[in-house]
Amino acid sequence: MRRQAREAAPMNWRINGPTGDCRIALGRFPQDLAEYCPTGPAVVVADAAVYARYSSLFPRAPLVELPPGEAAKSLDVVRQLYDKFLAFECDRGSLILAVGGGVTCDVTGFAAATYLRGMPCGYVPTTLLAQADAAIGGKTGVNFHGYKNLVGAFQQPRFVLCDPALLKTLPAAEVRHGLAEVVKHAAIADADGFRFLESETERILALDDAVLPRLIGDSIRIKTAIVNRDARESGERRLLNFGHTIGHALEKTPGAPHGEAIARGMAATARLSVRLGSLPAADAARLLALLERFGLPTQTALPRKVLLDALAKDKKRLQGTLHFVLLEKIGQAVVRPLRLEELAAAWDDLPQL
Interatomic CA distance for residues 208 and 212, integer angstroms: 6
| pLDDT computed for residue 316 by the predictor | 61
| pLDDT computed for residue 9 by the predictor | 43
Instruction: Inform me whether the pLDDT recorded for 319 exceeds 80.
Output: no
Instruction: Inform me whether the pLDDT recorded for 185 exceeds 90.
Output: yes
Confidence of residue 290 (pLDDT cuts 50, 70, 90): very high
Least confident interval from 140-144, 156-160, 259-263, 342-346: 342-346
Please say whether the beta carbons of 127 and 216 come within 8 A: no
Catalytic positions: 117, 139, 181, 223, 233, 237, 241, 244, 248, 258
Interatomic CA distance for residues 251 and 302, integer angstroms: 11
Instruction: Give 148 or 211, the one with higher predicted confidence.
Output: 211
Mean pLDDT throughout 167-183? 97
Interatomic CA distance for residues 352 and 266, integer angstroms: 14
Instruction: Inform me whether the pLDDT recorded for 56 exceeds 60.
Output: yes
For all residues of the chain together, what is the average pLDDT? 91
Instruction: Give 104 or 343, the one with higher predicted confidence.
Output: 104
What DSSP line would sit under 132-175, residue for residue? IIITSSSEEEEEETTEEEEEEEE---SEEEE-GGGGGGS-HHHH
Confidence of residue 253 (pLDDT cuts 50, 70, 90): low
Q: How far is CA 120 from CA 36, 94, 101, 148, in A?
A: 12, 7, 19, 24
Mean pLDDT throughout 45-73? 96
| pLDDT computed for residue 130 by the predictor | 98
Classify 53 in phi/psi space as left (phi over 0), alpha (psi -120 to 50) or beta: alpha
Instruction: Inform me whether the pLDDT recorded for 249 exceeds 90.
Output: no
Instruction: Inform me whether the pLDDT recorded for 52 exceeds 60.
Output: yes
Confidence of residue 5 (pLDDT cuts 50, 70, 90): very low
Instruction: Inform me whether the pLDDT recorded for 7 exceeds 60.
Output: no
Instruction: Inform me whether the pLDDT recorded for 352 exceeds 90.
Output: no
Instruction: Give 231 or 317, the one with higher predicted confidence.
Output: 231
Instruction: Inform me whether the pLDDT recorded for 8 exceeds 50.
Output: no
Q: In one letter, which amino acid is 138?
A: G
**Per residue in 78-87, pLDDT tens?**
999 999 999 9
**Per residue in 21-48, pLDDT tens?**
999 999 999 999 999 999 999 999 999 9
Mean pLDDT throughout 127-143? 97
| pLDDT computed for residue 73 by the predictor | 96
Question: What domains does the chain contain, in order, with CATH numbers?
Answer: 2-170 (3.40.50.1970), 182-209+235-347 (1.20.1090.10)
Phi then psi for residue 118, to 5 deg, are: 130, 120
Confidence of residue 318 (pLDDT cuts 50, 70, 90): low
Phi then psi for residue 26, to 5 deg, are: -85, 125
Mean pLDDT throughout 314-339? 84
